[in-house]
Structure 1
Amino acid sequence: MKVQIWEQVAARKQKAVLESIPAEWIIPDHLMPPDSQDDVTTFPETSGWFTAEELAITNSEALELLPKLASGELKSETVTRAFCKRAAAAHQLTNCLSETCFERGLETARQLDAHLARTGLPLGPLHGLPVSLKDNFHLAGLDATVGFVSHVDCPAAADAALATLLQTKAGAVFYVKTNVPTAMMMAETVNNVMGRTVNPLNRRLTPGGSSGGEAALIAFRGSPLGVGTDIGGSLRIPAACTGLFTLRPSFGRFPTLGCRSGMPGQEAVQSVNGPLARTLGDLEAYCRAVVGAEPWHDADPRCLPIPWRTPSPPLLGRKLKIAVMWDDGMALPTPPVTRALRRTADALASAGHELVEWSSKDQAQGLDLLNRMFVADGGLAIREEIAKTGEPWFLPAMAAYASSQELGTRDLWRLHAERQAYQQRHLERWNASGIDALLCPTTPYASVENGKFRHASSLPGLSLSSPTSPIFIPDPFSPVATVIGLEVDASGLDQSCISFPTGIKVDAALDKALDMLLYQPMSEVDKMIQSECEFPS
């Protein structure tokens, strides 16, 4: 069979990324886990390939590293080198990276160490901390393909606004960028440039998308803190798939200039960026650092001039009224997800918070609006990039972009008016209910095999949504997950949303698939979801 041009370009790109890893960070053949090993998160501890110092550093959370970096107890160069090696291992085991810039990271780290030695002061709140970035963030000299073969060998001329802020004001160190799906518009991370990223917790499963490379890297502890983006669940779904915390902020909270889009100019549904981390504290540290740099002054004129606000009495510790949405009216969450949601709701009630039920009556319209806005250009932005190299489509996941009809300007304006009316109705409903937050599952699944994602997460997760500022919930429910339909609410409504791991895993003894002879599915999608449920022991 004749090799196509796009295949040659992709093979060259994959080879270049692999060859950018120094020889000393290539896993020896005799230590490489077999393909049959699903969970590779244990590799760093069991292989003997990492030193005790490298393990101590990379197993630390960001909040544990930051004071040591700020005091000089740990050198940034030492920390960066350890995470470079673990990120290199993560890529070899999960295919999670799209670019490396190890030497840039080490040089930045050396400069920060010199600054601390010279001044006695850290450069910023993230001084010396390695931070990974999703592929669409421009870094000078590196590609940002966003999964298109046509964007290979098109290096950025300058860093994105957020990257500049994080490095020059917060003191972050960049060393890798992470893989995404084509155009960043699929819930799994697979493209024709770098191929498929798999979940380090179970390589038969997806880490979600579109920030799936970022989630896989952090779950493997190849990064202490990462930044992804979200337009329709692209932070929340990967967080649920890998058991991480994430924040999907409202537009204008964090700078977005200087990033590549899979659909440039599409603003009917605004894309936002936010952190992915293993702890709630790390998430908050990132948010403080970005907002504390006051990005509305010189990073992005669209950022809202709202300083960081710390809750104080009587807000701090008060009892909340939280609505729970048990399903989205289109599909029932699978048993482990429902169990995770129920346990979280029970924990909230036991802590004295008031819980009420939230109807899913508007979810179908929200999903319909979102889908129509995504293809308002008839899929032309994506189709043009696909056509440049003749790379194949990932169907059926991207079928709508391959076959939609472009809306005229007047029809697009009508769609915007419909969206505004939907947002207004939701706000009125929210205010009338008097709730503080909405708790729901992100997707119905408890696990998703590679290539079988149907609006689902691979680990039970839950989400909290608020129409105002991000909510950081204290114990007793620091475990979090993601909830069904929330990607519709938070994206179409531009609500801030935090996704958190529940700590619940599938248990064959507790999670029984529904009897499809007795269950009446809500839809054909629901029928497919429930009939495909498997809960291995």
Structure 2
Amino acid sequence: MSSSTVTTDTPASPTWQEIAARKSAALLASIPKEWIIPEDKKPPASQDNVTGWPRESGWFTEEELAITESSATELVSKLATGALKSLDVTKAFCKRACAAQQLINCLTETCFDRALETAAARDEHFARTGKPVGPLHGLPMSLKDNFHLTGLDATVGFSSHVGDPASYDATLAAMLQDAGAVFYVKTNISTAMMIAESVNNVFGRTVNPLNRQLTSGGSSGGEAALIAFRGSPLGIGTDIGGSLRIPAACTGLFTLRSSFGRFPTLGCRSGLPGQEAVRSINGPLAATLDDIILEAKTIVDAQPWLHDSRMVPLPWREVTLPPKLKVAVMWDDGVVLPTPPVTRALRQVVDKMQATGRYEIVDWDPKDQLQGIKLLGRMFVADGGKAIKKELARTGEPMRPEMNLYDAATELGTYDMWMLHVERDAFVKQYLDRWNEAGIDAILCPTTPYSTTKNGQFRYVGYTGVYNVLDCSCVSFPSGIHVDQDIDLPLVAGEGYTPRSDTCKATHQEYDHAAVHGIPISLQLVTRRLEEEKVLAMTKQILSLL
């Protein structure tokens, strides 16, 4: 009698390409049919600036346009008095966010059913009590992909995290919801949130609604692009090397990079879990400074130190600025000279400040900046790129070319990492001593060397990253000045311009004044650690001059 062996084939695991394709298909399928742009309404692929399309298309009602083109502060005021209903406001932003996704590829998750249910509950509460739920009553808000929301993925751009929905809401998300916010979408990022543009192998590239040939920055670029398109009135991103300020600058928005300890970070997925040599922070992105202040004050007033023990028990402080402020101007950081429009905007703003007599302006020597940016880079790759490589290996996903530093990195041992911390602390003290000796209130400088760049050409994060190492409070704000291709002509090496570095040389070789014509130019105001209220008050004062 013969016997036979029965074998069962184990199904092959899906490839990263299959995972990405399924996720993208699911995202598209989550958009209701009534929010799919009709073919005869779509802007042509050749139309670069799509920010005016919602009004030009005729696809949105006047009510939807009025709602989505209002600031968060304006909306909250009307929602809190019953002049607007949360359900109507939420539906309008859901529709506009769906349009944004179809035109600029800025979303990773949608939760429209959750949003409409929450909005209806906000309206029911107001009808029953006559009172708003909280300071953000009924306001739709968007979140960066890495914030955990129950039932949704937080991929941080890795195919390995697809299909791993959260069972809880991130601490900051829960606090915002307690304050009355309504969540409806999450937004695109870069792989591991460690690229200065929002591009990854799962969702692809987010482009800039001001010009789809240009980048919206990263890693919070999906958030910035959505808000610039007015698909969200107020959103939350993160910043570990400029990931809030860079996208804000690329799209002409406001943002606050707080010091660690003001806004809770529990319940967020990190691209470099356990990395604490330089801390990631959460912060708001919006079209107005008042909206930034609204979100920041709401969170601090809710005592975040009771929700995340690493937060500083520091209540919101009303600031009265002195009659005269001393501001140091860093014209360039000695590593990459800003492109011509950024230098022009900085000069014009400084001239306006000096003309008031309310500011003492001094120059800031950038002699420490190179050390700071090198420290940041060493901290990011101290694990030899293992955190990123291991996540990619789970599905066989390749390392993106923008992340070659992680591919080539060598892991530090414990002792060497400790010594890196010692070097960082000495650098922080060195910078503080210079600050105190100069007696300055703030540093005014470029947010980036660019207004923005063509997709794939954002090369340098030094203007933001050094202040992450220092853990300073920073605001990036639009200067009110735009690139003018007839004025902001390229610099030519040897004709009054000497490259500071190879990156500087590449930056100016790639600078295309015609491509960025009309793009808003942003600047950065920096104060000491934990001076969020002061930097916001100073920014507001400077804006009054512009």
State the TM-score, normalizing by the size of structure 2. Answer: 0.90
Q: Is the 8 A contact 2:460 2:503 kept in 1?
A: no
Summarize the alignment of residues 215-254 of structure 1 with structure 2, pairs less than 5 Å apart.
Answer: 215-254=224-263
SS at match of 2:134: coil
Q: Aligned partners of 1:293 and 1:336: how far apart in 2?
A: 41
Pair 1:350-2:355 in alignment? yes
Q: Aligned partners of 2:452 and 2:321: how far apart in 1?
A: 36
Pair 1:309-2:314 in alignment? no
Q: What amino acid maps onto 2:381 in structure 1?
A: V
Point out 4+ residue stretches in structure 1 off by more than 3 angstroms. Answer: none
Q: What amino acid maps onto 1:380 in structure 2?
A: K
Q: What amino acid maps onto 2:383 in structure 1?
A: D
SS at match of 1:232: coil
Aligned residues: 501
1:488 Cα deviation after fit: 2.6
1:453 Cα deviation after fit: 1.3
1:317 Cα deviation after fit: 5.5
Q: Deviations over 1:156-210 (max 9, x none)?
A: 0100000111101x10000000000000000010001111100000000010000
Q: Is the 8 A contact 2:249 2:452 kept in 1?
A: no
Q: How big is the alpha-carbon RMSD for the aligned residues of Structure 1 and Structure 2? A: 1.2
Q: Aligned partners of 2:430 and 2:493: how far apart in 1?
A: 36
Q: Is the 8 A contact 2:384 2:410 kept in 1?
A: yes
1:520 Cα deviation after fit: 1.9
1:390 Cα deviation after fit: 1.3
Q: Which residue of 2 aligns with 1:368?
A: 374
Q: Deviations over 1:241-283 (max 9, x none)?
A: 0000000000010010000000100000100000000001111
Pair 1:333-2:338 in alignment? yes
Pair 1:285-2:256 in alignment? no
1:504 Cα deviation after fit: 1.6
SS at match of 1:416: helix
SS at match of 2:225: helix
Q: What amino acid maps onto 2:313 in structure 1?
A: P
SS at match of 1:366: helix
Pair 1:74-2:84 in alignment? yes
Which of residues 109, 115, 118 is equivalent to 2:119?
109
1:383 Cα deviation after fit: 0.3
Pair 1:57-2:67 in alignment? yes
Q: What amino acid maps onto 1:16 in structure 2?
A: A
Q: Is the 8 A contact 2:71 2:287 kept in 1?
A: yes
Q: Which residue of 2 aligns with 1:443?
A: 448
1:534 Cα deviation after fit: 1.9
Q: Deviations over 1:480-528 (max 9, x none)?
A: xxxxx43133100001100000122211221111122423211111111
SS at match of 1:246: strand
- Consecutive unaligned residues of structure 2, counting only runs of 5 or more, are 1-12, 518-546
Summarize the alignment of residues 191-202 of structure 1 with structure 2, pairs less than 5 Å apart.
Answer: 191-202=200-211
Which of residues 286, 293, 308 is equivalent to 1:300?
308
1:351 Cα deviation after fit: 2.2
Q: Aligned partners of 1:14 and 1:499: how far apart in 2?
A: 32
Q: Which residue of 1 aligns with 2:488?
A: 511
- Consecutive unaligned residues of structure 1, counting only runs of 5 or more, are 457-484
Q: What amino acid maps onto 1:206 in structure 2?
A: T
Q: Which residue of 2 aligns with 1:526?
A: 504
Which of residues 165, 170, 185 is equivalent to 1:176?
185
Q: Which residue of 2 aligns with 1:430?
A: 435
Q: Is the 8 A contact 1:143 1:151 kept in 2?
A: yes
Which of residues 486, 491, 496 is equivalent to 2:468?
491
Q: Aligned partners of 1:17 and 1:183: how far apart in 2?
A: 20
**Higher Rg:** 2
Q: Which residue of 2 aligns with 1:150?
A: 160
Q: Which residue of 2 aligns with 1:398?
A: 403
Q: Aligned partners of 2:330 and 2:465: how far apart in 1?
A: 13
Pair 1:41-2:51 in alignment? yes
Q: Which residue of 1 aligns with 2:214?
A: 205
Q: Deviations over 1:208-249 (max 9, x none)?
A: 000000000000000000000000000000000000000000
SS at match of 2:131: coil
Q: Aligned partners of 1:222 and 1:125: how far apart in 2?
A: 21
1:155 Cα deviation after fit: 0.2
Which of residues 160, 177, 181 is equivalent to 1:167?
177
Q: Aligned partners of 2:240 and 2:351: how far apart in 1?
A: 31
1:5 Cα deviation after fit: 1.0
Q: Aligned partners of 2:60 and 2:434: how far apart in 1?
A: 54
SS at match of 2:284: strand
Q: Is the 8 A contact 2:146 2:269 kept in 1?
A: yes
Q: Aligned partners of 2:452 and 2:117: how far apart in 1?
A: 40
Q: Aligned partners of 2:153 and 2:465: how far apart in 1?
A: 31
SS at match of 1:73: coil
Q: Is the 8 A contact 2:96 2:230 kept in 1?
A: yes
SS at match of 1:40: coil
1:150 Cα deviation after fit: 0.3
Q: Is the 8 A contact 1:296 1:304 kept in 2?
A: yes
State the TM-score, normalizing by the size of structure 1. Answer: 0.92
Q: Aligned partners of 2:454 and 2:509: how far apart in 1?
A: 14
Q: Aligned partners of 1:189 and 1:179: how far apart in 2?
A: 6
Summarize the alignment of residues 93-108 of structure 1 with structure 2, pairs less than 5 Å apart.
Answer: 93-108=103-118
